[in-house]
Every structure is written in C-alpha cells, then in structure tokens.
Structure 1
Amino acid sequence: MSDHSSVPGGPAPWVGFCNPQAAGLTDSTVQWAQDAGLPVPGFQGTAEAARAVRPGVHAGWLFPLADRALLRIISDYSLWLATLEVDPPASLHQAQSGEITISEQASLAHAQETVDPPPTPYTTAYNDIRIRAQGRVPASDFPTWHLRLLTARNGFPATSDPVFDEPVEPEAEGRLLPELNAVPLFPFVEVADDCFIPSDLTHDPDLLRLHQLAARLCAAVDVEFSKGWRSLDTDRFQQAGADLIAKYEKEWPSAGRYVEGLKALMHGQACWNRDKTGASMTSPSRSSAAIADASPQGEEFARALHRSSPSGARALADFLSIYGVVEKLLADDLAEFATPAQRERVLRMLDYTVHGGKMSRAILVTEATRLLTDPKDPDLAPILSGGLLLGWCIEILEAYLQVIDDVLDHSRTRRGKPCWYLREEVGRINAICDGMILRSLVFRLLRRTLGGSPEYLDLVELFQLASYVTELGQAEDTDGMRTRDPAKADMGYFLGVARNKGAYYTFRLPVEAALVVTGWSHRNEVDVVTLRHLFLILSEYYQSQNDMLDFRDDLRSAGKEGTDIQEGKSTWLLATARQHASSRQWQKIAENYGRDPEEAVETVKAVYHDLDMEARFSEYRREVETVVADLTQKISTEAPLVGQICRLAWTMSTRVGSIVT
C-alpha cells in the first residue's frame, strides 16, 4: 500500500524519476497489440512509429512506484486508446473492409459484459486488458471502478469548469497534451495506491472538481511541478484535495492517498513532457540544496568532482533527489512484514546510516549508466532511473558493512557523528541485527524496483558476490586485529585484504551493475579480465590512501577517528615498513603495534616518519598511475565508453582525498 503523503514535499522526490521497470515495456506492448491484431501499423504505416509513442515509458513516468505487471496493463491500455485515434483514411478503410468505425469502437468499449459484441481486434484486446485489471481490483469495487475507467477515457474538461464556472488561465490555452494523456489513467491511481473510491462518491461534485483541476494541470505542458505548486490551478487543486479529504474522513479513509497519487501522476506527466523534449529533469537550485544538505562533506566533494567531471556532479544531485522514492518503496515493503513501530525504527536507522558520506560508489554507477546509454534510446529515462536506484542499493549495502565494521573496530564516529551502535537506544547487539536488516533491504529494493526486468537475476548475483567477498575481507581483517600479529604484516596479506574489502563493492559492483542494467554487456564485447585487474589495482590504492590518512590524522576531516595502529590493522604502511625497516625499527613496531597507549602509537608513527612514508607513498602512487593508464588504454581500445568509466573511477578514487564513505 502506498502513501505518497508520507514523502516530504509531495511529488518533489519524483523529479527526474521514471519507473525502471518500464524499460523494454513499449516493445512488449507493441508486440501485444500486433498479436491482438490492432492496427499498430496505422501510425504512419509502421510499427516503429507506434514504438515512438512509447506508452511503456509514459506509464513509468506516471506510476514510478508501480510493479511491472500493473505498468504492463497501463501501457497496453494507453496504446489501445491510441489505436482509436487513427487518421480518418485508415478508419474509412477499416469500415470498408468490414472493420468497425471509431464511434462503434467507443460504443463497444462501453458495452456491458452481457452484450456479445462482434469479435474485433479492438474488443479482444480490450477484454484482455479488462480481465487483467480485474485481477488487481477487489471484486466488490470492480463494477464501479470499471465504469470510472470508461468515463475517464472521455476525459474531464481541461479548458472549463462547469461546476464552478471558473475561467481557464490564459497560458493554459492551446497547450493540450499530444498523443498520450494522463487523464484516462486516473482510475489506475486507485489500483496503484489501494485507494478505491466508494461507489456512492463517484459523482460527487467535489471529486469531479478535483478531476477537472487535475485534467487542466495535465494539459499545461510546461508546468514547473518541481519548483512547487504555486500557480492558481495548483493552489485550487491543493485546496480541493484538502476539502475532499476533510469531507470524507470516515467514508473514504484513503482519500489522502488518492489525492497524493493524482499529484504524483500530474508531476509524472510534466516529466514525460520534458522527457519528450530532452529537457533536464532536475532543478539546479534544488540540486545544490540537496548536495549541501547531504553531509558536511557533500558540497565540498561535489565541487571537487565538478572540476573533473561536471556530469558527475549532476549525477550526485540526481541521486540525492530520489531518496524519497527509495524511502517510500522500503516503507511500503516494511508495512507488509514489520510492526508500525519497527517500521519507523528501521526507517530512522536507514536515514541515519546512509547519509553523510561522499556517495562516490553511487555516483560511479549513476554516471556509468548515463555513459553507457544512448541519449536517443527510447528507454533512456527508466534506464537512468534504474542506475539511480542501483546507486542507493550500493549505498545501503555500504551502510550495512559500516555498521558492522564500526562494532568490530570499536569505532567512535562515522561521517562526523556517533556510530550507530553508540546511540543510547541501539547498542552493539541491536546494531548487528540492524546491519543484517540493512543487507536485506538491499535485496528487497532490488526486488521491488527491478524484479520484473530480465537483468534482475544478474544484478542479484552481483550484489550477493560483492557482499560475500567484502565480508570475507572484513573477516580476515578482523582476525588480524584479534591476533595483533605483526607477522601478518607482509604485503601479500595486506593486498589480499584490501582487494576483498574494496575491489568488489567499491569498483566492480558499480561498474558491472551499470553494464548489466543498460544491457551493454549483452550487446558489446569488453575485456573483462583486464577490467577486473584494474579494479584490483584501484582497490589496493584506495585502501593504501585511506591508511595514509589514518597516519596523518586526516580522518577527522572525514568524520572518523583513525585507530589503525591501536587496533593492529594490516595496512599499507605496516606492510611497507616490513619491507624496508631495519631490525631495530621493526622491533619497535612489533613491541608497540596493536596497543592503545598514546606513547605506543607515537612510537610506531615515529618509525613511519623515519622511513619517510610520505615519499614512499608518492612513489607508489606514480607507479599505480602508470599501471592504471596502461590498463585503461587497453580497455579503451575495444570499448571507449568503458575506458571513460575507468578514468572516472580513477579520478574519483584520487579526488576523494579522504576516506570514501
């Protein structure tokens, strides 16, 4: 059950978001229409022109949280409606060849089920839609719901208001929606949000007024929904919705969901209109505010990222803008299984643990998805939205790993605030349970957003592998801490831990998830061996960079205290010292490493300074830069776009300048 009103700001979280499960839906709908015998070629004589209408993507914009089965019904119904609007010569040809006229089609669509209409493609296709829709509507509600569906097909006046006789705004004149309209789909809001209108309220004048205002707003192609509901009609709609909710508080408890569902649908129609023109979905002012509010580091990181990748900075803004969608999807899922109190607690925990970092992994998958998608792809919007959702899946996976890691490491702060387990109402045991819940939320979000897509199982496998290998790396790292054994300080041991802890979920998961969700990996060749070798090199450098930050005490700027020496961690500095320290220097490390007293920590750091670790790290970085450049060039030769993503991954790993959290 959905509740759009629980998302602050109403439809604002839907800025730039199209249901990912709409990808590929238009082709399925066109095939369905052809199988039913509908005159799909009537659109300029080709099925390709029918695909250009993109009813699947239209459904994805209007119903961003619906499952694929419902989207399929809506998409099929939209194309069925479009076939009733074929040009007059085609209609005349159908009549002459024994087909029915448009007026006869309309009468058949309104016919009662007891009538036995001629078996035309129109009636056959419509009956298929009706039967599938009937399976989504309670039996007691279906007769009146079906009547509302038929009524909505005729539309609500968008240029007049006969109930209140109010004039239409001049700027709305002459800007009626082309091709696909949201108005005939109003009844599907009831299905999507489980808010069926009671039969005795169907003809209520206040409800009619709400529908008329919604129709007028849908007719205004360039209404800026993302900047607030400020125009005269939007103010009227808001007031009409509030009046309706208050009026039927007892008779129709779900009226609030219906009003918010209509609002989201209207916003989706505005996004659809922009989508068709190629305009940006994101308000620049909103993006800047979202970045600034994301974390103390967010705005600074965005500026640094913008200098090297302006599109990457936009990716961060788009990513942050859909958190309301993610929260809403998971809240709905929790409502099915958790108590109300537990649901609220999990959502608070999610909000506390996923925010505040630089979100580099999310930016990587989001930007990689954009780079791998043809701007002219008719499914561009749902594919890009799929990349945004994958970014949040990765961020939630990271939150799980960090919550557990903080407990194991006895960390005090994370992202500038107390670790989750240190909160008074949490504690270590509850934090471990919460970490497991976070991990499960990843797969629930995948299921709810991409469960109907052909890429779903491949994505699940990617996330499972990333989680599994990272957990193995964490276990090995923890074992080294437990034994506090400097003998585990050799470079091979460090590299093994670093690769498992970082290569999979920091680099491989974001890039390969983008390859999968865009379908790129199925259409193109890529040197997977070289690509994965590059991920290992990046993960080694990534971890060594973080180790240097701990040594410099720079972690405080990232909201985390450095405790590698006290905890006996396997680090790049320890492994390098093992290679270059004298016997006397190594003895000092062995006697003090893994101990808490400040003098022990300072003794180890003094040895690191004597070994000139800063110079050694600079030399190591130059070596890594050469290797990364060579591997990237090799990948670029066969797959230039993937090479561009590899360069972005390297840029991000070096631009971070602190722990990538």
Structure 2
Amino acid sequence: MAYLDRVRFESVYPILVQDMLEHAKGYNTPNEGIEWLRKNLEYNVLGGKCLRGMAVINTYAHVLGRELTKDEYEQAAKLGWLIELLQASLLVADDIEDGDEYRRDRPSWHMVPDVGMIAINDACLLKCTLYVLLRQYFGHLPYYANLVELFHETTVQTELGQMLDLISARRDKVDLSKFTVAKCERIAESKTAFYTVYAPILLGLYLGGAATPETIEQTRKIAIPLGRDYQYHDDYLDCFGTLHSFGKEIGRDIKDGKCTWPITQALVRASPAQWAILQDNYGRDNPIKVKKVLNVLSDLQIPQIYQEYAKTAHATVQEEIMQIGSMGLNRGIFDDLVAVMYERQR
C-alpha cells in the first residue's frame, strides 16, 4: 500500500488526542477526568494494524493520482483516525460482551486494574470523540453531512452484525442446527465488512471529491466480499492460529459458541457421529471439549479447505477489480488493500 506507513500515520494521532482533551476541558471536566480520557484514547486506539485508517489516506492519494502534500496527508490521516476511533469503541465493547481478557497481546481494557465496567462508558466516549472531531475538522465542508451519514450507516450495520453474532452464540445452549453458511456470511458482512473496507474507501472518495452513485456502488460490490473474507480469516485464525499471530486467546469462538466459518463449513461435511461430537462439545468453556472440536475440524480438513477457499476468493476479487472501468475509481485502491488483507498474518 502506497501509504502503509504506520509510524507516519501514528504521528498525527496526538493532535486528535489533544483536541479532544481541550474539548472536554470546555465542559469543566476536572483533571482526573481529563487524564482518564487521555488514557482511554491512548490505550484503546493505538497499537492496532491501522489498516482502516491508512486505507482512507491511500484511497485519497489514488483519487488525486499523485503524492499528498503535508496538509493533505494530515487531513486524510485525521479522517482515518476517526474510523480507528469507531473501531476502538467497538472492540472495547466486544471484549466485554465476549469476556475476552486479551487484545493485541495485552489485557483488554476492562481487564486493566481499576477499569472494569467503566470500560462501557469509555467505549461510548470513544465514539463521542469521533463525532466531536468530525465536526471540528470537517464541519465546514460541503460533504460533511455525507460523512456523518456514512459513519452512522457503518455503525448501525456493524452493531446489527454484532447483535446477530451475540444472539447466535449461546454458551452451553448451542443449537448447531441453526448455524448455517448464510447466517455466517451475514454476520461477517455486517459486523466486519462495512467498517473495515467499505467505509474507509468511501471516506477517501469523499475527501477526494470522487464519491458518486456509480463509484459508491462499485466500491460496495468489491468491498463487502473483501471485508467478509477478512472476517473469515479471523475465524480461521481463532481455531488454527497462535496467540502470538492472533493477539488473543485461541479457540475463544469455540468456547463462546460463535457461528463462524470453520464450524459452518464443518457442519455441512460432518458425519452423524462427528455432528454429535460437535453438538456435545461446541460452546463449552472447557479446554478438553475445545480440543475435541478442533480434532473434528482437523479430521474434516477444514484448514486445507480454508486455504482453497481463500485462494478462490482472492481470484474472484481480482476479477472484480479488473472490471473497474473509467468511472472515477482507481484499481490501485483495491489492489493495495488486497495485497495487505490476503497476506496478513494477524
């Protein structure tokens, strides 16, 4: 990716932190609250891959067809950090909902000493920060309303996906007959694809003045499958990755009874005996039961099946990208993302 320089991207973030702290001071927030907010903004937003934020910058550069000036880069980076703030708010809440104790190789925010369930309010504050700074940085621009609408649409889509994910996962009450490939696809598209690929590209298009009904539709056609496959890769890593490569506990989706790519693929291939093992052990917080599930997945060659699926999905996306015409979209926008997303390790 032309602008996949995380160090440069992160160099802009202190500006956002300081601007939000100054905004909070305007409400007579005491120093204790300001320092807590600072810790929230730094602990939960920094430390990720920043793929979403940098995709905004990269899209903007492709739209302009040249290197960005210092001011253009900073403006695009600020917009990129707003999608990272949305990501952070979602992850803080997600870790509480799923009971995840680790995120990015360190304790999840609610597991940090003295934080606990204050993290619920902190997740809300991260999302509030997004809209405060969106107005501050882009409120004077003619497409400001489009940006607000896009963030709202993306949030609703993602939260609906999260809802489906949570109500499908019933630890100790799993009914695998309700786990279908179609349900898994819907969850992945809603909770991941919109805010991971679709929204960052559209933000870059708006910034570059290239967001038209045609380019938006073309973006959706490519971005949603790409983001869906990104989530499927996470599902795969949850079963067959490592703590180092995945950044959080392996087998968590199995313990939580999540409707994910590996289990739905296993169910359409399982014998009656294998199905019974999965039904008896899936969604149980017991390492022995998790191991039994993983053994069935391995017996069904789910890792090999995933590798073949990923290869085919990659080829399909590449074909879609090749069909992009002269409608204001630059193929490089998607080529750069594909290169990163299909080769990522975590």
The answer to whether TM tops 0.5 is yes
Q: Distance in 2 between matches of 1:530 and 1:581?
A: 38
Structure 1 position 318 matched with structure 2 position 318:
no
Tell me what 1:348 maps to: 39
* Cα offsets for 1:520-576 (capped at 9, x unmatched): 225xx7443342122221122111111111111424334211201000011100110
User: Runs of 5+ in structure 1 lacking a partner?
Assistant: 1-308
* Cα offsets for 1:576-628 (capped at 9, x unmatched): 01111111111110110000111110110010011011211121112202210
Whether the aligned pair in 1 keeps the contact of 2:89 and 2:124 (CA below 8 Å) is: yes
Which letter does structure 2 place at the counterpart of 1:324? Answer: P
**Residue 387 of structure 1: how far off its partner (Å):** 1.1
Tell me what 2:209 maps to: 519
Which residue among 473, 496, 506 is the counterpart of 2:161?
Answer: 473
Which letter does structure 2 place at the counterpart of 1:336? Answer: G
Structure 1 position 603 matched with structure 2 position 284:
no
**Residue 449 of structure 1: how far off its partner (Å):** 1.0
Q: Distance in 1 between matches of 2:126 and 2:299?
A: 43
Which residue among 4, 9, 25 is the counterpart of 1:335?
Answer: 25
Instruction: Return 442-451 or 545-554, whichever deviates more.
Output: 545-554
Tell me what 1:648 maps to: 336
Whether the aligned pair in 2 keeps the contact of 1:383 and 1:517 (CA below 8 Å) is: no
Which letter does structure 1 place at the counterpart of 2:279? Answer: A
| Partner SS, residue 580 of structure 1 | coil
Structure 1 position 594 matched with structure 2 position 283:
yes
Tell me what 1:416 maps to: 105
* Cα offsets for 1:474-512 (capped at 9, x unmatched): 111111113533223210000000000111100011000
Tell me what 1:543 maps to: 231
Q: Distance in 1 between matches of 2:94 and 2:141?
A: 33
TM-score by length of structure 1 reads 0.50
| Partner SS, residue 3 of structure 2 | helix
User: Runs of 5+ in structure 2 lacking a partner?
Assistant: none
Q: Aligned runs of 1:206-217 on 2, under 5 Å?
A: none
Q: Aligned runs of 1:621-632 on 2, under 5 Å?
A: 621-632=310-321
* Cα offsets for 1:179-230 (capped at 9, x unmatched): xxxxxxxxxxxxxxxxxxxxxxxxxxxxxxxxxxxxxxxxxxxxxxxxxxxx
| Partner SS, residue 342 of structure 2 | helix
Which letter does structure 1 place at the counterpart of 2:189? Answer: R
- How big is the alpha-carbon RMSD for the aligned residues of Structure 1 and Structure 2? 1.8
Q: Distance in 2 between matches of 1:622 and 1:558?
A: 20
What is the aligned length?
342
Which letter does structure 2 place at the counterpart of 1:645? Answer: I
* Cα offsets for 1:105-154 (capped at 9, x unmatched): xxxxxxxxxxxxxxxxxxxxxxxxxxxxxxxxxxxxxxxxxxxxxxxxxx
Which residue among 273, 276, 279 is the counterpart of 1:584?
Answer: 273
Structure 1 position 358 matched with structure 2 position 49:
yes
Whether the aligned pair in 1 keeps the contact of 2:52 and 2:200 (CA below 8 Å) is: yes
Whether the aligned pair in 2 keeps the contact of 1:566 and 1:595 (CA below 8 Å) is: yes
Tell me what 1:84 maps to: none
Tell me what 1:368 maps to: 59
| Partner SS, residue 331 of structure 1 | helix
Tell me what 2:322 maps to: 633
**Residue 516 of structure 1: how far off its partner (Å):** 0.4
Q: Distance in 1 between matches of 2:327 and 2:80?
A: 23
Residue 317 to residue 402, structure 1, CA distance change in 2 (3 Å): same
Q: Distance in 2 between matches of 1:515 and 1:528?
A: 9
**Residue 334 of structure 1: how far off its partner (Å):** 0.9
Residue 611 to residue 374, structure 1, CA distance change in 2 (3 Å): closer
Q: Aligned runs of 1:96-495 on 2, under 5 Å?
A: 309=1, 311-314=2-5, 316-337=6-27, 338-375=29-66, 380-428=69-117, 430-482=118-170, 483-495=173-185
**Residue 374 of structure 1: how far off its partner (Å):** 4.6
Q: Distance in 2 between matches of 1:376 and 1:535?
A: 24
Whether the aligned pair in 2 keeps the contact of 1:507 and 1:535 (CA below 8 Å) is: yes
TM-score by length of structure 2 reads 0.94
Whether the aligned pair in 1 keeps the contact of 2:181 and 2:265 (CA below 8 Å) is: yes
Which letter does structure 2 place at the counterpart of 1:515? Answer: L
Residue 624 to residue 614, structure 1, CA distance change in 2 (3 Å): same
| Partner SS, residue 411 of structure 1 | coil
Structure 1 position 572 matched with structure 2 position 268:
no
Q: Distance in 2 between matches of 1:369 and 1:477?
A: 33
**Residue 321 of structure 1: how far off its partner (Å):** 1.2
**Residue 407 of structure 1: how far off its partner (Å):** 0.2
Residue 610 to residue 455, structure 1, CA distance change in 2 (3 Å): same
Which letter does structure 2 place at the counterpart of 1:630? Answer: E
Rg comparison, structure with higher value: 1
Tell me what 2:247 maps to: 559
Which residue among 173, 198, 202 is the counterpart of 1:508?
Answer: 198
Q: Distance in 2 between matches of 1:588 and 1:329?
A: 54
Whether the aligned pair in 2 keeps the contact of 1:494 and 1:571 (CA below 8 Å) is: yes
Q: Distance in 2 between matches of 1:399 and 1:527?
A: 28
Whether the aligned pair in 2 keeps the contact of 1:484 and 1:567 (CA below 8 Å) is: no
